[in-house]
Amino acid sequence: MPLYPPVTDPKTIDWDNIPFDYVRTRSFIKYTWREGLWNEGELVTDGTLTMDVAATALHYGQSAFEGLKAFRMKDGKIRVFRPELNAHRLIKSCAATSMIPPTVDLFLLALKRVIEDNIDYVPPYESSGSLYIRPFVVGSGGQLGLSPAPEFYFCIFVNPVGDYYKGGMGNPVKALISHSFDRAAPHGTGAVKLGGNYAPAFLPSNAAKTRGYAVMLFLDPRTQTYIDEFATSNFAALTAPNPSDKTRTYVTPKSPSVLPSVTNRSLTELARKHLGWHVERRQISWEEVKQGKFEEMAAVGTAVVITPVEEVHREVVRAPREVKGLSTRDGVEDVWRDEEGDEEVEIDVARASGKGGFLELYRAYKALQRGELEGWERYGWMWPRDGIA
C-alpha cells in the first residue's frame, strides 16, 4: 500500500468487512496557532499536505494525540462518544509538552466540521463499524534550540474502521510482562497521551507477538509490584459474582503512570449505574492477579473496547546478569564496550478462567453507543445531543 493512497470512494467500502486500518477519506481539518492565535482552520483535501503535517513532529518531539469514535445510531443520526473528555485530556497532554492546546469549544467545532465533510464515510447503523477520529497537536516552525516550537498544528483525521482484534469478545488473548522494558518512568509522562510514550513499545511488542502474545502488560516502573496498563489500553478485572446478590466488582488500577482512559471510565460508570456492580480503582498487585483473585481480565480502550485476556505471562529473572565495570587501562574503546551476558528467565503465569461478565458489560456499552440501550440519552455521553444528520 502506498504511504498516502488515493481517496477511497465510500461507495466501494464493504461495510460488513471493514478492517481496522487506514482509509483515506475526503479531507482532514487543520488549524494553525501562530503569534498567539488559532486561525479559522481549513478542510484539507490535498494529500501532499498530509506529509507536511506529519513531518512537523520532529525536533524535540512536541506531539500529543487523541482517539475517539463517532457512530451512526439507531435514529439515523451521527454522534461522537464523550468528546469533551478527550478534549480535556488533550489539553492536559499539551500542557505536559509546552504546547498551546485547542479549547474545548474549538475541539468540538473541528469535530463537527470534519465529520460533516466526510459524513458518507461513517459506517451504516447495520454494520459493526464506526468512524475512528484522530485529533493531534504537533509543534512546527523553524526551531533549533531546546525550547517550545513557535507554532502548532491542531488537526483531526477521520477513518472508518471495524474491530481492532479479529474475533473480539470471542477471542481471548495472552499478554506478556517483559522483564526488560518499562513503558513509563517514575514521575514521567505515562498519564498523558504523547507519541513518545508509544513508539518505544513497538519493538518489544512486535517481539512479543512473534512469541504468540497479542499485547504487552506493564507493571509500575518504580517497584515492579503493581499492575499499570497494557501497551494499547487500560487493565480491568472482574471478581466472581457475589453468591448473595450475583453482583460483581469491577477493579482497575490507580497509578500516576496510567493514562486515564475514557473507555475505562465509561465502563466503570456503566457497570455501576446500569448493572449495579461495585467499582474499585486501586493498586492491584501482581501477586493478587497471579493467585487468581479475579475471574476475568481484559484490556479496555477506544479501539478495542474490551478484549478478554485469558492468561498473563510474566518474565522473572532468577539469575540476573552480572554487570562489570571497565577502566581506561583496558583502552578508551573498551570503556564504551557493552557486554552482554546470560540471564536465567522463568515465566510466572496468571489465568482468568471465567467468562460472561465482560460480555454483558460490552453488550450494554455497544448498545448505548448505537442508541439501543433504554435510557441512553440520560447518560449525556453521545454528542451532539440532537446528532449530525
Beta strands in 178-261 (DSSP E): 215-219, 227-230, 234-238, 249-253
List the one residue out of 254, 139, 135 whose CA is nearest residue 191: 254
Q: What is the mean pLDDT of residues 228-249?
A: 94
- Please state, in angstroms and as integers, the Cα–Cα distance from residue 208 to each residue in 179, 233, 301, following that order: 12, 16, 20
- Please give the helix or strand (H or E) that residue 297 lies within, else none: strand 296-301
Q: Are 273 and 373 in contact (CB under 8 A)?
A: no
* Higher pLDDT pick, 207 / 61: 207
Q: Is a pLDDT exceeding 60 seen at residue 115?
A: yes
- Taking the model in full, what pTM does it have? 0.92
Instruction: Write down the pLDDT at residue 3.
Output: 58
Q: How confident is the model at residue 165 (pLDDT cuts 50, 70, 90)?
A: low
Torsion angles phi and psi, residue 106, rounded to 5: -65, -40
User: What does pLDDT average to over the chain?
Assistant: 91
Does residue 338 surpass a pLDDT of 90? no
Q: How much helix, strand and coil, in percent to the nearest 5, is found in the chain?
A: 25, 30, 45
Question: Is residue 354 over pLDDT 90?
Answer: no
pLDDT of residue 147: 85
pLDDT bin (cut points 50, 70, 90) of residue 343 is: confident
Mean pLDDT within 118-134: 96
Q: CA separation (Å) from 318 to 291, 327, 345?
A: 20, 29, 6
Predicted local distance difference test score (pLDDT) of residue 56: 53
Tell me, what's the pLDDT at 192? 96
Exposure string for 212-224, b = 16+ CB within 10 A, e = fewer: ebbbbbbbbbeee
Q: Where do the H-state alpha helices sit in 15-157?
A: 48-54, 83-96, 104-117
The pLDDT assigned to 212 comes to 96
57 or 358, greater pLDDT: 358
CATH 3.30.470.10 fits domain 10-162: yes
Instruction: Answer whether CATH 3.20.10.10 is correct for domain 168-369.
Output: yes
pLDDT digits (tens, 9 = 90+) for 64-91: 999 999 999 999 999 999 999 999 999 9
* Cα separations in angstroms, 11 against 25, 158, 160, 165, 220: 12, 17, 13, 25, 47
Tell me: pLDDT of 324 over 90.
Answer: no
- How many CB atoms are closer than 10 A to CB 334? 12
Alpha-carbon distances of 337 from 24, 303, 324, rounded to whole Å: 47, 42, 11
**Of 263, 18, 25, 22, the residue nearest 123 (C-alpha):** 18
Q: What is the pLDDT of residue 342?
A: 75
Q: How far apart are CA 175 and CA 167, in angstroms?
A: 16
At 326 the pLDDT is: 73
Domain locations along the chain: 10-162, 168-369
Q: What is the mean pLDDT of residues 191-207?
A: 93
Contact 300, 270 (CB under 8 A): no
* Confidence band of 344 (pLDDT split at 50, 70, 90): confident
How many angstroms separate the CA atoms of 160 and 132, rounded? 6
Place of cell 492468561: 311
